[in-house]
Amino acid sequence: MEEIRGKKVPILMKWFKPKTKDKTQLVTVGDKYTRAVAYVLLTIGAFTMLIPFLWMVSTSLKSPAEAVSMPPIWIPKSFKVENFLKAFEVAPFGRYFLNSVLITSLSTIGELLTTILAAFAFAKMQFYGKNLLFTILIATMMVPGELLIIPNYLTISRLGLINTYAAMIVPYVASVFSVFMLKQNFESVPNELYYAAKVDGSSDFKFLWTIMVPLSKSAIVAVSILKIIGSWNAFMWPLIVTNDRMLRPLPVGLQAFTTEAGTQYELLMAASVIVVAPMVIIYLFLQRYIIMGVSKSGLKG
């Protein structure tokens, strides 16, 4: 027997006392192995997705012979920057680029106006049937976008907007996902601010633009970036509603360029870089806003 803290306990109990430190160490080692495996899998996945992009950039700088050489050549002997100039000569990519900038800018501005107003109404204002209306709105997210192509096309056609910029902008100036994302963020702003502003005589519109919007800047920027990327990469809808070559955005122009350039793969890859590069640059510089916006809105996965 041995006395511990004034009590006599068997010596064997001290010897066989559970060692929590060792258990902690075992858990830590297990976590390290799990984390290492996760990093390895993520690295493999990243390289799998990065290889096509690197091959596109590499081929855009190759000579015609290097572009079709076997075995493939990753690093060209001399960088053919003139491939980009040739691509602009074969097709009016300058006009395509301006079309994409115009369509993306106007549709993004339109979506921000509609979604900010709708999100504020659902988050802070009280009106009959608000919850039911929001539930119906969210339910529309389960409808595939392809299912809406024919109704949207018929509407645009009857309005006489086929072969116009409006046909590529108007149907996409609202987004249920953006409304949901901003609503979640607006709800994180204390209601006391809203009630205090109302007591001071502030209108809903003034409170929205002077308080809510500045406090929700990260979420609004995130919604804007996602909208810009989606509009810039839009292909199916602009292809359906436009026949005029001068109205084509970059993705549609690139698809047409595949027939115009023939087997000149170095020019095809140069044109692809022109389409992809702006969005890659935007995402690299502004990705933290997407993460901040999504995290503050409470979305997961």
Domain coordinates of the chain in residue numbers? Answer: 2-60, 83-297
Residue 60 in this model has a pLDDT that exceeds 90: no
Residue 295 vs residue 237, higher pLDDT = 237
How many C-beta atoms surround the C-beta of residue 88 within 10 A?
A: 17
Mean pLDDT across the stretch 54-61?
A: 87
Instruction: Give the model's pLDDT for residue 13.
Output: 47
Mean pLDDT across the stretch 117-145?
A: 88
Q: Where are the alpha helices (DSSP H) in 125-234?
A: 130-139, 149-158, 165-169, 176-186, 191-199, 204-207, 213-215, 217-232
Helix or strand holding residue 8 (H, E): strand 7-9
Give the pLDDT band (50/70/90) at residue 15: very low
Residue 165 in this model has a pLDDT that exceeds 90: yes
Helix or strand holding residue 246 (H, E): none
Query: Looking at domain 83-297, what is its CATH homologous superfamily?
Result: MetI-like (1.10.3720.10)
Instruction: Give the model's pLDDT for residue 30.
Output: 63
Instruction: Give the model's pLDDT for residue 154.
Output: 93
The pTM score is: 0.77
Instruction: Give the model's pLDDT for residue 295.
Output: 63
Instruction: Give the model's pLDDT for residue 221.
Output: 87
Q: For 3-17, 26-40, 44-58, which range has the lowest pLDDT when averaged over its residues?
A: 3-17
Give the pLDDT band (50/70/90) at residue 37: confident
Instruction: Give the model's pLDDT for residue 23.
Output: 47
Give the pLDDT band (50/70/90) at residue 61: confident
**Buried/exposed code over 246-283 (b: 16+ C-beta within 10 A; e: otherwise):** ebbbbbbbbeebeeebeebbbbbbbbbbbbbebbeeee
Report the candidate in 279, 262, 254, 271 with the shortest Cα–Cα distance to residue 57. Answer: 271
Residue 100 tokens, joined: 């994409």
Report the candidate in 114, 117, 110, 106 with the shortest Cα–Cα distance to residue 212. Answer: 117
Residue 285 in this model has a pLDDT that exceeds 70: yes
Residue 108 in this model has a pLDDT that exceeds 90: yes
Are 177 and 222 within 8 A, CB to CB?
no
Residue 279 in this model has a pLDDT that exceeds 90: no
Residue 111 tokens, joined: 């979506």
The torsion angles phi and psi of 7, rounded to 5 degrees, stand at -120, 140
Angle, nearest 10°, between helix axes 265-297 and 250-261?
Answer: 160
**160 vs 35, 100, 157, CA distance in Å?**
57, 21, 5
Query: Which residues lie across from 3 on neighbouring strands?
Result: 8
- Number of residues in the chain: 301
Q: Per residue in 240-272, pLDDT tens?
A: 998 888 899 999 988 888 776 667 888 888 888
What is the spatial distance between Cα 253 and Cα 273, in angstroms, rounded to a whole number?
13
Instruction: Give the model's pLDDT for residue 272.
Output: 87
Residue 217 in this model has a pLDDT that exceeds 60: yes
